[in-house]
A and B are shown apart, each in its own frame.
Chain A
Amino acid sequence: MGDMKMNTVGRPSAPDFDVEATSFHTLLGGRGLLQSEKLIFEWDDYHRTGVDFADIAIDTSDLDGLVRGDDLNLPGLTEPECVRHYVRLSQKNHAIDLALYPLGSCTMKHNPRLNEKMARIAGLGDIHPLQPVSTVQGALALMDSLAHWLKTLTGMPAVALSPKAGAHGELCGLLTIKAAHEARGQGHRRTVLVPTSAHGTNPATAAFVGYTVKEVAQTADGRVDVADLASKLGSDVAAIMVTNPNTCGLFERDILEISRLTHEAGAYFYCDGANFNAIVGRVRPGDLGVDAMHINLHKTFSTPHGGGGPGAGPVVLSAALAPFAPRPWVVSAGDGFVIEEHGEADSAANFGRMCAFHGQMGMYIRALTYMLSHGADGLKKVAEDAVLNANYIKASLSDLMSVPFPDGPCMHEALFDDSWLEGTGVTTLDFAKAMIDEGFHPMTMYFPLVVHGAMLIEPTETESRAEMDRFIAVLRALAGAARNGDVARFKGAPYLAPAKRLDETRAARQPRLIFS
């Protein structure tokens, strides 16, 4: 990473860019109001605490020597110290609440605060998963209501709510498919077909459950190559995993043909629902022949990403797969609800349990709040504005940045490649990092893998025209700087972030995962 140090001799050509100013060092190492914050383990005194519990003596003779003898070596902070520590750290993060956050495929949309409020009310946020069923009828009704919305929006007859994230949903979907094949004497099907543009979780999940992954080629216009798919479909294929809209931000025009061929071959159609936000309320995956699809509640239905989770990944299922879904199930029984938690009472078909309890209730509450707020008409508008915003960005940048699949509209995300950067000395990574200095999070880079130096921009529907115009202006200016040979601006970027470029190679070579 030696070349990350700025060469201050070759001054950049842009008049408003001053490398020396960016490397100004404060006396104590902070960056203005951004404080340099030590680790909690670097506090001298480990014996304080921010909670007030009595220091009682107990008789532990029952424990037969199982009492902990070692010092836990865990520091405690008083409340003011604790608040300041975490608030200082928070200020080193970028967030959707600060600016358009164009991470393609990740759907960084506004997280309504009503969702947060509702997830915390007494009787929802504080109830226990194993309370008597008679005392959680409202919780079961809420899960049933969420299930109804998900089934109606997707046109699918069943949903398994419990998966805890998108990848967990994929796992649930493939295990459901595996159970269905085995029950129907088709357990010999060991291959899963995955397009080259798929999310990494697709092949990872398929391989994880013991399937052989075969890739399906892509056409010149960024879609699944149906002829290649047809040639690979056979009696060994258990399922195809197709993302639609796909990771190039395009709707699979031949989706009906894809599902017809898949079903004819005796395989199931797993749809990666990561991009459902582009079509929610307008297109029902059930109408496309989908057999199973996970829905990332933290994407389409606005539950917060939280710095990397928790997510939630309910899986909608076709009638063919519904009997094989995992436990537990909420069942309407007369004037109330029960929850089926055990296989014995059910058919022997279901494949088991994805997690200890009933899934991500906190996310169900948030997602249902979001759905009730928008309603059927609002959700349709969500998809339309998401697609409109992405096409607006594409139209506003395509004269400067190269679009690998220029024909026709994109869906909720606009994909660019790096051919326009050729000869500038600036890479996709440099360009993205320079966006940080201009106040934006980078777009998704180098994904999908099928496009060279990919830059995938997803604005979402919660961006105003003004914010998009600000974003477009920044990208146009940066594109101009790259083309004008202003390489220094990019090569060491970001200069103005809370940290300079970090040495990731060093972190991996000498892993230091805990403080010592």
Chain B
Amino acid sequence: MRYLPLSEADRVSMLDKIGVGSIDDLFIDVPQPARRSGTVDLPVYTGELEVEAQLQAFAAQNVSPAKVPFFVGAGAYRHHIPATVDHIIQRSEFLTSYTPYQPEIAQGTLQVLFEFQTQVARLTGMPVANASLYDGSTAAAEGVLMATRVTKRSKAVLSGGLHPHYRETVETLAHAVGITTEACDLAIDDEAEVLNHIDADTACVVVQTPNVFGTATDLTQIAAAAQAAGALLIVVVTEVMSLGLLKSPGEMGADVVAVEGQSIGVPLSFGGPYVGLFAVKEKYLRQMPGRLCGETVDADGERGFVLTLSTREQHIRRDKATSNICTNSGLCALAFSIHMSLLGQEGLKRVARINYAKAHALRDRLAAVPGVEVVTPRFFNEFTVKLPKAAAGVVEALAAQGVLGGVPVSRLGVAPEFDNHLIVATTETVSDRDMDAFVQALKAVL
């Protein structure tokens, strides 16, 4: 067996050293009724060649986005990832190390986390950031929990532009801990509605920009209203690339920012693992969930980095911890940080402008298709169209024509008034020919 180095001779002599006669003697504490003879009913040991073929067979039943015109987004986006990123994250020292609890032999990971936190803070326009959470949706949920700790209030207002899967994730966690949520009806551009829900019990307002329909929103007013009422504004961003062009949440007055970082450095991978970016105002630093990396010095006075403020965390505080989080998304944070440092501000701004330009070019072309109405007023790289028939059927028909044409709103939850709405994303990976194919196929299936 290729992953097991012990030989039979090793096993025999080791049992001898231990002073037992057989391997079964090491399992004597297992109660008799739970002992099993033989193996469980599953296939047996298989060589690398055959396993590879089995996995390829699964892959062959999927349509790879690289092979078709591809416009699917709604919270996860196909972007080009430089080859360097995947090469570096596969280095043994990053891939196969544990959480950096022994800082003397983990300065590589720790410096990366310090740089990551700084990148996230600058990108979101916030003073501090943590070392990552699982993904954007759980980051949003942790933001709500944090807001209730800070304000000692227990109501969260959720905007109608929040991705419905994010809304459900937030509701699940919030309700489990006794927080009430008021979710506004799904809405393309109605952030003013959230103002009506803010009152003296409100711990936080959760608003997404660009929202699930792609609408970019000025949150300045909501920030002011929330803060005037003693509540926190939590800004959710599911397309981090948008921060290369759009006003940052910090600039608009956010107290907490929860971002899905997948677009920078992390492959789509059918929904995970991704990386949650989490940034807050300085005064909430000690209320933040998740790991934090901080600068310090070593015994020689040299700069070094450690995980810090761990008295907030479960392994120290146990039942009094700020959250139960242990593992975070370290390797995805590394991928994000490498890609971000390759982009730099110049690269990020350029790729953001290209996304914007392509999406707007597609908007103009789809708007010219009879029966198609573009309903998103202001957007970055994603917008929503209203079709003359149910979007779910159109998407399947497009797929049959070899075009993956977006996400029907109905895929995200039941909302009959949006059955004909289709969310369309356009990134730098989309070519003019892809757009031609989309427009032609759409005309054919409508």
Contacts and interface: CB of A to CB of B under 8 A. Distances in A.
A69 B251 contact: yes
Interface stretch (B193-201, B322-330, B435-443): B322-330
B332 interface: yes
B62 A138 contact: yes
Contacts of A110: 3
Nearest to A143: B270
Contacts of B165: 341, 353, 356-357
B269 A125 contact: yes
B185 interface: no
Contacts of A117: 52
B102 A441 contact: yes
Given A122-B64, A131-B72, A282 B27 contact: yes
B432 interface: no
A69 B128 CA distance: 20
B245 A164 contact: no
A384 interface: yes
A497 B152 CA distance: 45
Interface residues of A, number: 210
Contact of B33 (A256, A305, A355, A502): A256
Contacts of A512: 294-296
B108 A201 contact: no
Contacts of A93: 93-94, 97, 100, 105-109
B444 interface: no
Nearest to A149: B42
B56 A121 contact: yes
Contact of B4 (A356, A382, A467): A382
A380 interface: yes
A288 interface: yes
A98 B98 CA distance: 13
Contact of A409 (B29, B105, B218): B29
A117 B53 CA distance: 12
20 contacts: A41-B115, A46-B345, A65-B218, A72-B349, A76-B342, A76-B347, A98-B92, A129-B272, A152-B41, A170-B324, A204-B317, A204-B323, A308-B330, A309-B332, A355-B134, A357-B76, A357-B271, A378-B1, A381-B4, A385-B6
Nearest to A447: B315
B213 interface: no
A67 B20 CA distance: 72
Nearest to A365: B55
A220 interface: no
Interface stretch (B223-231, B285-293, B365-373): B285-293
Interface string B349-360: 111011011001
Contacts of A207: 318-321
A136 interface: yes
Contacts of B39: 281, 376-377, 380
B21 interface: no
Contacts, number: 709
The CB with the most chain B CB atoms within 10 A, among A37, A213, A356, A363, is that of A356
A46 B56 CA distance: 43
Contact of A77 (B44, B269, B344): B344
A70 B349 CA distance: 12
The CB with the most chain A CB atoms within 10 A, among B172, B260, B275, is that of B172
Interface stretch (A13-21, A53-61, A225-233, A478-486): A53-61
Interface in A109-155: 110-112, 114, 116-132, 134-139, 141-142, 145, 149, 152-153
Given A355-B272, A372-B46, A127 B64 contact: yes
B417 interface: no
Given A74-B340, A352-B168, A363-B273, 11 more contacts: A23-B300, A75-B341, A75-B345, A79-B82, A89-B108, A93-B105, A126-B65, A126-B267, A139-B62, A145-B58, A507-B294
B382 to A, nearest CB: 12
Interface in B1-56: 1-7, 10-11, 14-15, 17-20, 23, 25-31, 33-36, 39-46, 48, 51-52, 54-56
A281 to B, nearest CB: 6
Contacts of B6: 385, 388-389, 461, 464-465
Given A70-B251, A200-B314, A47 B346 contact: yes
Contacts of B88: 83, 86-87, 90
Interface string A353-370: 111111111110100110
The CB with the most chain A CB atoms within 10 A, among B87, B94, B100, B275, is that of B94
Given A97-B92, A374-B1, A378-B45, A342 B414 contact: yes
Contacts of B105: 92-94, 436, 441, 494, 497-498
B341 A85 contact: yes
A170 B36 CA distance: 27
